Each structure stands twice: as C-alpha cells, then as structure tokens.
Amino acid sequence: MSRTIAVGLGARSYEVRVGPGLIDRAGETMAPFLKRRRTAVVSDETVWSLHGARLTAALEAAGIAVSPVIVPPGEQTKSFEGLAEVSDRLLALELDRGDVVTAFGGGVVGDLAGFAAAIYKRGVDFVQIPTTLLAQVDSSVGGKTAIDTPRGKNLVGAFHQPRLVLADLDVLATLPEREMRCGYAEVIKYGLLGDFGFFEWLEANGAAVLAREPAALAHAVARSVEMKAEIVAEDETEQGRRALLNLGHTFGHALEAETGYGEALLHGEAVGAGMALAFRFSAAEGLCRTQDATRASTAIGAAGLPTTMAEVRREPFDAAKLVRHMAQDKKAEGGKLTFILARQLGEAFVAKDVDAAAVARFLQAEGAV
C-alpha cells in the first residue's frame, strides 16, 4: 500500500507517492505529465545496472520511449563538468520544452538532473524517482537543485519543483548499509528540528528502520516527507522556516569541504556529525540543556553515524578553515554566520549573526586546532 503526500504550491503543487512497487507502475503514473510519450532518464551507472531494466520495462509498457543518460556515481559528478555533460546529452536527444526529464537515482542524480532540467531551454519539467533513503526523505522533495563548486557545496543552482515524486521503498533493498545510515541522518533530522514525538519514535524504532522492516520504513519515510512538504509549502525559497531543514548542514558542509566531497565522508555522515555539533554548540552557548545535546548525539551515534570530528578523521581539523567554509554557506548574509541551533529536542531555530570567534572556540574545544 502506498501513501500520497501533497506538496501545496498552488499551480505548481505535486504529489509525493511513498510505498512499494511504484517503479512497476511508473509508466501509467507518469503518462499524464508527458505531452509526447518519451522521457530522458538521467541515472548513474550503479542505479541503472540494478534497476534500469525494471524502470524501462514499466515505461515502455505504457508506450513511453526511454532515452538513458548515464553518469558516473559519486558526489564528484555534481559539478560544472557533470552539468555540461548532461545538458549536452539532452540537447543531442533534441528534447523540446514540452518533454520531461526523469531523475532516477540518489541525491546527486536528483540535484544534477533537476538543475539541468531547470536551465535546459529555460526550463523543462522533471520527475523524481529517488533510489536512496536520503533522496526519498529529503533531496527529491522541495525543488532545490544544484551543483558543487571548489568553493563550497550546492552554491550554484535553482529552485525547480518536480511534477511528481515516486519514492519506491522496494529499491532500498539494494542500498548499501552505509547509504541507509546516511539517509537515516536526514530522517532523524525531522524529529530533532520539529517533532519530538517522532524523535522518540525513532529512538525506539530506529533499528527497525535501518533493518528495512517494511512498516517502520514506510512510517519513517512518509512522516519525513510530510514534514518537509509542510515546510516547503510555507516557505518555498528558504526565506524563513525552510532554513530549519539545514539543521547540521553548516557544520556538515564545512567538514565535507575539508574532506574533499568524496568517499571519506558522505553527505549523510556529515549531516549526522553536524547535527551533533549543532546541539553541543547550542548547549555551549546556553541555548539548550546539556542533556538534550547528549541525548541527540546518542541517538545519532546509535545509527552508526559520526557525532564528533575525531570520528570523521584522525587528523585534527583546522578551526579557522572550517569557519571560512561556513562563511561561504548559502545561509550566510552580509558576512555574518547563520546556524540552525536548538532550544530543545524537537525545537530548532534560525540563529543569525552568530559570532565566528565563538564558533572557532567551540571547534577547538571539540578537538580542532
């Protein structure tokens, strides 16, 4: 059984469907959005080898021609070079503005294909079929698309909402354990930032989610999407409340930048460490109780995610370098640091004009030099 969650954005509203078997029905589900029975499917080599035949069969059964655009897996693909390659491939297929691009993969593919769709002939529609837990609960919903640059993560991009999101829980059966843990970081984020009851449920059922127990997994994904849909509908372009979804990301993106956006530290792992750091920084600044920060870190660590910089790498981080990365963060304004901090478990807030020196002192207390 699947659940349908609406993202309410007026004329640009769309549905997120969560459940098993959705790829097998993708043709009939996507057909109403296609002016011509064709789609370019952007995917990576790993996902396409595992699930490409299944998606192709479903689309072709509905009379939809499939043109695969396959890219290398990994964060490095989400670059200017990757964007140029995908854009050129779409041009070679002679897609017109009435055609639809399908993003079939994890967060990297979703971001890259979505951004390419946003700028191809000044914008074409796209459909998200996320194949990782992280993408299903976070990056496929809300229309944020972007690429990374040497100066920081997701600094060049566009808001471009999909027409439809199909979160097929079956594909998670092939997801490596490390990727499941990365996705779980974004799941627990929703409990930490705005739903204490969900956080408590995850404390009791997190192991079942990670074990892919069907009922637990379905609830975790659907509740995460519900929370994100509500926030996106209220604040599409991140002028206010939507910034709360970046809990842990300011610390996390800085750690990613220093480790090279690669296999050494995956995005979900960086978010896990970043959320633990954000709660401990909140406690250090007297904004929340130390026991709340400890409980948050314990729950994150119980999922096998890092909660300290020492767990990310043995070599100490340079506090000044981390702060410089934070100054490049998209949320920074007028040279002032912006963080998502916590008043308590289930209650985060946007803190602007955070003192960079206080952040540096905290990082040094956490083991940076």
- Helix 196-210 / helix 214-234 crossing angle, nearest 10 deg: 140
Identify the residue whose tokens are 């709360």. 244
Cα–Cα distance between 157 and 78 in angstroms, integer? 11
Q: How far is CA 187 from CA 36, 45, 61, 328, 361, in A?
A: 36, 26, 34, 26, 30
Whether residue 145 contacts residue 159, with contact meaning beta carbons closer than 8 Å, is answered with yes
What is the rounded distance in angstroms from the CA atom of residue 16 to the CA atom of residue 140? 9
The letter for the amino acid at 215 is A
Query: How remote is the C-alpha of 70 from its chain's centroid?
Result: 20
Q: At what angle do helices 319-327 and 249-259 cross, to 10 degrees?
A: 120
* Active site residues per annotation: 122, 144, 186, 228, 238, 242, 246, 249, 253, 267
CB contact at 8 A, 313 and 259: yes
Q: In residues, how long is the chain?
A: 369
Reduced to 3 states, what is the DSSP secondary structure of residue 18? Answer: strand
User: CB count, 10 Å around CB of 72?
Assistant: 12
Kindly state the tokens that stand for 170. Answer: 């079956």
